[in-house]
Structure 1
Amino acid sequence: MEAGIVGLPNVGKSTLFNALTCSGAAASANYPFCTIEPNEGIVSVPDSRLDTITKYIPPQKIIPAILKLVDIAGIVEGASKGEGLGNKFLSHIREVDAVLQVVRCFEDEDVTHVSGDVNPISDIEVIETELLLADLETLTNALPKAERAARSGDKEAKVRVEVIKRCSAHADEGNLLRTLEFTPDEAKIVRGLGLMTAKPVLYIANVDEDDVPGNGPLVQKVREHAAKVGAEVVPVCAKFEAELSELDEADRAEMLESVGLEEPALGTVARAAYRTLGLQSYFTAGEKEVRGWTIPIGATAPQAAGVIHTDFEKGFIRCEVYTLAALEEYKSEKEIRAAGKLRVEGKEYVMKDGDICHFLFNT
């Protein structure tokens, strides 16, 4: 699963991307960052539960859950028609699972706004309009092919035609496709079409250094908009984070304290992106490693096992599960077993966030 960072020019998008990835590298040896390509990065999701687990099960390695971030080329008005780097922007955003939209909420005479004045709601509307226009074009182009397949008696194609028509009617009225409800089969069709306004969105309000907590009026406007569309807002000062990422651990802690923050923005952004993507973590713990694994909310035990290796899902027998609270109470897995607090779950078990697991399987 990956999230694409998007925004208009000069909103601080790339500054934020660089700061997040650098802070991920500097935060701790346990939270690594690696560059895949110049505009892509994998960042660890900071999780205090890992520290608690390793207190009782000391491992050789600690591996947190990860999130892939993609710094997508900036968009301008007319991008859906190829203006600026529109085509590149649109092709990349179709591939990500969620949109992290950076919205400028700071005034700076030295950084020109593409529209002339700072108006975060207008910025959001420009990008949403361009994505919606591109989605309409995608739907228009996809319909004839789907109709031809449906005429041949293909049942799946008939469903595809209905989905395309419903999405087109909704988008024609200016509505974003994420406001529609889809069955699992319909959602699969929508994902296959790469419809961008159907993807979940997280707004990142890039604030001024004088308002690092994000209490200013511009951020409040973004929060009001986000509340209407069921999205989250995370205030981040990209400039502050860029400076923070260059400091050593002691100086970083002091700088964070000076503005009333407990951690770099990486933590809050990563966790909010996790929620936006509908993800959660479970853990495996042993002497070799303690590791966080990323799964969709609602994943079953076999599906969770498959994240480790496809053979684990195919040959799944059962899952042994215990909670972090049980580990804190009984101090070791051995004592958890002895107290009868280690559960044995089968193929129908739906994973809970924070489960600590052993999977039993055959090949």
Structure 2
Amino acid sequence: MSDSPIKVGLASFGMSGRIFHAPFIQRSPNFELQLILERTKSNSKAFYPHATIVRSIEELITHKEVPLIVINGPTYLHFEMAKAALAAGKHVVLEKPMTATAKEGKALLALAKQQGLLLAVYHNKRCEGGFKTVHKLLASQRLGALKECTLAVHRFRPELGPKAWKEDPYPGAGILYDIGSHLIDQVLVLFGWPLDLEADLQIQRVNGKVIDYFKITFFYKDFKATLVSDMLTQERRPTISLLGTKGSFVKYGQDPQESRLAEHPIPWEGIGEDLEENYGVLTLYAANTTERIKTETGGYDQFYTNVYDVLKGNAPLLISPAQALDVIKIIEWAMQSGITRP
């Protein structure tokens, strides 16, 4: 590739495209947002007037001057759209979850390898401050031997959302694929493949059709990790909880980047800095002391910086497609072994 900015085509301008992808592509000097797929609307024009709106995936992936395509539509379309882009000779950034099935994911990995193309999956919560803080704290061994880890995302959305592909039983729909894919990825990065797991999967909301609650416990040799998410929690609950032989760590609050990216204009100053009231508390048993732990600064921009470095041959992928495939394998394992209550 030349040293000029890499031209990018974006496959959707819904929330994902507007908040998580387009701003970082546009802000980076290494990329140029050239094409945006909007089948009937032209909402992107107000934000990116220089970009050309196209009306079909075929038009998006056949543009000769655009080598990188971001596939960020509904999960059940990920496989076919990414497959078409790879077959057309395009590098692909694929929104998480990678695919609805592991079989589809394996097929994409094989095609990308065959074509000699990049396939990067957008597990952006790897770039959040809370996850970075956990990673740093565990490496410090201040907690001693870890015995329990709980990662949670609680929301209060008792009414069904307007997006049919998220609320109707399409392949890959439901909170297990949405939030679950992020939390599963984090646990696999921190601790590796579990020896066993248990899953409690539920449909809790009135008239719900897809899983909107999960509790998955990963069992390792000497400890366990639990992932929880739901749509019916109003009260403030911990999002990170670590329990070790020497101490414990508890943190509240979600990463602030998403809410700040939803604003317009985007307040880039301090966008990845956590609120002080959400800093975690470390308790050390022997000293009987507590300590406020400043949250590490998050940065979703690190994902696209890494993509550029990979395309230039200067770095390995931050999130390999094989790791993204493992997430789908865990989801399928949980679906097969879990208790799903109507």
Q: Normalization by structure 1: what TM-score?
A: 0.29
Structure number, greater radius of gyration: 1
Q: By percentage of residues, which structure has more helix?
A: 1
Q: Normalization by structure 2: what TM-score?
A: 0.30
